[in-house]
Structure 1
């Protein structure tokens, strides 16, 4: 195996000079740097990251716990996290907590055991007390995304779900809709709670309240959107618009309406939330709320890197804004169009 000594001999410099180049620390003249880089390329030298970690007391690992890394939403978030960690020269370990307190706790403890320098947490449950104490003793800096279920968080990044949902509901109401169904995600999830608050605020602007619309709780999944819409149709419920809790749900809504030979937006308007990749490719293209999930992850990871570098004071707090994206799935209801 090629060692740092081999590189120093090939480049004609000391081992310490090679170490400074490899670690990116300290001054090295341009001529020596080029000689070292050439020697590294010729010999195929790879730094011993374990040895570096032992010397610096840093693993250069960032840990992240999200709800489910297998979903497009959280995969996109991790994509943003990785942009920031790679730029900082940190490797990334990701684990899923599945919105389960025990799963989340075990994921956090595993990252601590792997000596991560810092941890990003997207938790849906309060952190289990034993995990809290283990994390407290580790002195590892933590940044939370979304709800702050970790008492040791030194930073927090949240999505502006409130304003996003308010603008979406306001758009439906301004279009003339009053017979509205909102298909909500899990009732105890932070996103769900914040969005319902935004919906309530928009309704209040029009002299209405949550009791004036139908709210159906379920899960953020296309199967729920499909099943809930089928049930609404079979029960003969009177509605002119469906506000789906996310774009996956909205995909299920569109399928159920199409099977029932109901036209969108002529018979029923459909609103989504996320602006996922497939939203603009649905038929009709989905009116939705764009939330920059990758930016959410990147912002949180950058905040953590700043904390690790000692270049930021805690606690930190950042809000990532959303935008209403108007496409073709929302129009005025038939009666409203006829009256106009």
Structure 2
């Protein structure tokens, strides 16, 4: 692999001159500039993006911090970010937050050191106060994804989690269900807090009805949903419907209930949140509330581009989901 030393030796110029040509800094004769570029082309020399960033104080890149990489949710986020970055002709530099507040902060600062033009942050573990302090401590614009945050935290685009749960609850109640179990994680992250509280609020909005409710704790995941489904099946009197906090929880539940001889939706209706790509292909196909993941990330990247161009006046946004009715829910049996 060719190095900057190879280019300078063959072109007969100093490495400093080659560096100035690469970074467009300093004064270089046009003839010398053309010679250096010609040699670089012959040798297929690719300058270090990090070195360019240090020299020009701009990495021509967008940083992306994700709290996790597992599951189709983050896969869709990552793919859309990559597509958007390509369209913007920007490098996408990715850092892992490891689902820990300290790691998320380290990830952001690692991208600051690489001179990213803007950083897109999907944080699960940092508090609002920590993100505000972070935004005020760095000189790179911050775009927050998946969280509704104060303006001091930088631009934010979020999904209305509580409204999504309300849509799910309303759908079951419209079908005549009056026994509803919520299955989801402990309310510790912004998403899990919003979805759990959203269920409570949605039930309260139907206070004129007598609704029997229950909450089962279950982390996101197929295996976790399967275990929760087994626990649900132990009830002496089954609730007739389930609101699952995610499609993977619902999928695990359906398998567990089927093994216990409980049929979905004839015995128990299940509705969930996300509308992951597989949700239409399991049996029965999941009724779910779609989270517009691609739209959220595409808009976040568009705002990032505007910030790079010097326009930072974009207002925070909140997107709502859409109810997708499939086969896992049906009217309650009277």
Alpha-carbon distance in 2 for matches of 1:131, 1:312: 17
SS of corresponding position for 1:253: helix
After superposition, the C-alpha distances for 1:118-172 in whole angstroms (9 at most, x for unaligned) are 1111212235999976764431110111235798532000012222211111010
What is the aligned residue count?
311
Decide whether the 8 Å contact of 2:132 with 2:153 is kept in 1. no
Deviation per CA, 1:96-128, whole angstroms, max 9, x where unpaired? Answer: 323322222222222222222211112122359
After superposition, what is the alpha-carbon deviation per residue over 1:34-92, rounded to whole angstroms, capped at 9, x for unaligned? Answer: xxx99998885656645643554211222222221132211211112222222112111
What TM-score, normalized by structure 1, do the two folds share? Answer: 0.79
Do residues 91 (structure 1) and 91 (structure 2) align? yes
Unaligned runs of 5+ in 2: 12-17, 25-36
TM-score (norm 2): 0.80
Unaligned runs of 5+ in 1: 8-14, 23-36, 336-340
Taking a change above 3 Å as real, the CA distance of residues 210 and 159 of structure 1, as seen in their structure-2 partners, is farther
How many angstroms does 1:321 deviate by?
Answer: 2.1
1:325 aligns with 2:319: no
Could you report, residue by residue, the CA deviation over 1:231-286 in whole angstroms, capped at 9, with x for unpaired residues? 12124242111111100001110001110111111111111110001100110111
Deviation (angstroms), 1:200:
3.8
- Are residues 1:258 and 2:258 paired? yes
2: CA distance, partners of 1:198 / 1:132: 25
Alignment check: 8 A CA contact 1:155 1:304 kept: no
> 1:111 & 1:54 partners in 2: Cα distance?
12
Greater RCO structure (CA 8 Å; 6+ sep): 1
C-alpha separation between the residues in 2 aligned to 1:176 and 1:275? 23
Q: Is the Cα contact below 8 Å between 1:105 and 1:128 reproduced in 2?
A: no
What residue in structure 2 maps to residue 238 of structure 1? 238
Shift of residue 322, structure 1, vs aligned partner: 0.7
Q: Does 1:304 align with 2:314?
A: no
1:142-181 correspondence runs (5 A): 142-147=142-147, 153-181=153-181
The corresponding residue for 2:15 is: none
Range with bigger deviation, 111-120 or 154-163: 111-120
Find the aligned partners of 2:332 and 2:227 in 1 and give their Cα distance: 23
5 Å matches for 1:1-340?
A: 1=2, 44=44, 46=46, 49-50=49-50, 52-54=52-54, 56-126=56-126, 136-147=136-147, 153-207=153-207, 212-313=212-313, 316-335=315-334
- Go from structure 1 to structure 2 and tell me whether the alpha carbon gap of 1:100 and 1:150 turns closer, same or farther (over 3 Å shift): farther
**CA spacing shift, 1:43–1:153, aligned 2, 3 Å:** same
